[in-house]
Amino acid sequence: MYTAADLTRRTPNPLRRSQSMVYVAEALAKAGRADESIRLADTIAEPDDRATALGTAARALAESGRTDEAVRLARAAARLARTAPNAFYRVLASTHVARSLVAIGRPGDAAEVAEALTQDQQAMTSANVAGALAAVAREMADAEHMEEAVQLAHRAADLASTIANAAHRALAMVDVVKAMARVGDLDQAARAADHITEPAPHAAALTVLARTHGPSPEARSLLRRALSLNTHEEALEELAMACPEALDEALACLRRTAP
């Protein structure tokens, strides 16, 4: 009988085989079979995929109490991620490993991995990197490493503000708003949202802010603005939470603006 790992190794397309092996290695790690996960990950050819799988295995090691091994493995995964030839996947793998480092209690190492992305001259766009920094900041906030989270969120904001392309800047700013909201800096989150000129991302950012405020007049006001910018499913969901009686009003607004 073939195992899942055996079947993935038989996949003829090299890239698909590499990605499939990541899924199996991560499933093993999440099932508490970290050593098997590491053995499989070490056979993955693509460096970004191997780094991703090893980052997940490091989390599993930490959860089983093998913290020192987890730190060593995550640091090795971070070094490996930086060798990926494709810039886009290099950013994704480094972000994943940085988040794993946060999860195993090494926010300083995670910040170094994230900051190194800003020095990557071959990175796809500044928007990719700003999004990566914001994602790691949110992970840090969730793990209650607030000082590091705030610093990284502001670093993401600074980087996003330099993006010349309006569409790319808008998407990066949505990530910044999410990070600022997560670290509790609602004033900065609101300022970042107000700098978004594209309607759909602006609506998404306002919805994030409304969710942070919870059921309140502030949330209702933000959701009114979001709905005026875009037919936004998330905004309608948040409106049901913040002010259920306003749903009829929102539906009427949508009917008036429908083509």
Same domain, 137 and 249: no
pLDDT at position 113: 94
Whether 37 and 29 have beta carbons less than 8 Å apart is answered as: yes
Task: Looking at mean pLDDT, say which of 15-24, 68-77, 199-208 comes out highest.
Answer: 68-77
For residue 207, give its domain range: 198-259
- Indicate whether 191 belongs to any domain: no
Same domain, 37 and 125: yes
What's the angle, vertex CA 256, arms to CA 255 and CA 257, rounded to 5?
90
Number of domains in the chain: 2
State what percent of residues in the chain have pLDDT above 90: 51
Same domain, 156 and 212: no
Last residue of a domain, one of 176, 206, 224: 176
- Indicate whether 102 belongs to any domain: yes
Same domain, 23 and 145: yes
Same domain, 47 and 169: yes
State what percent of residues in the chain have pLDDT above 70: 80
Same domain, 233 and 161: no
Q: Give pLDDT tens digits for 176-221.
A: 999 999 999 999 999 999 999 888 899 889 988 988 888 788 888 8
Same domain, 51 and 152: yes
Same domain, 123 and 203: no
Q: Give pLDDT tens digits for 32-58.
A: 898 999 999 998 889 999 999 999 999
Out of 4-8, 124-128, 222-226, 251-255, pick the least confident: 4-8
User: The domain that contains 167 carries what CATH number?
Assistant: 1.25.40.10
Confidence of residue 253 (pLDDT cuts 50, 70, 90): low
- Indicate whether 107 belongs to any domain: yes
DSSP state of 244: G
- Indicate whether 141 belongs to any domain: yes
DSSP state of 174: H
Choose among 136, 208, 197: nearest CA to 170. Answer: 197
Last residue of a domain, one of 176, 211, 226: 176
- Indicate whether 230 belongs to any domain: yes
CB-neighbour burial class of residue 132 (10 A; exposed 0-12, middle 13-18, buried 19+): buried
Confidence check: pLDDT of 237 > 50: yes
Same domain, 143 and 213: no
- Indicate whether 154 belongs to any domain: yes
- Indicate whether 211 belongs to any domain: yes
Confidence of residue 238 (pLDDT cuts 50, 70, 90): low
Same domain, 32 and 155: yes
Whether 176 and 163 have beta carbons less than 8 Å apart is answered as: no
Q: How many CB atoms lie within 10 A of CB 65?
A: 9
Same domain, 25 and 111: yes
- Indicate whether 190 belongs to any domain: no
Confidence check: pLDDT of 242 > 70: no
Same domain, 130 and 229: no
Containing 104, the helix (H) or strand (E) segment is: none
What's the angle, vertex CA 170, arms to CA 82 and CA 248, rounded to 5?
130
Confidence check: pLDDT of 139 > 80: yes
Last residue of a domain, one of 176, 208, 236: 176
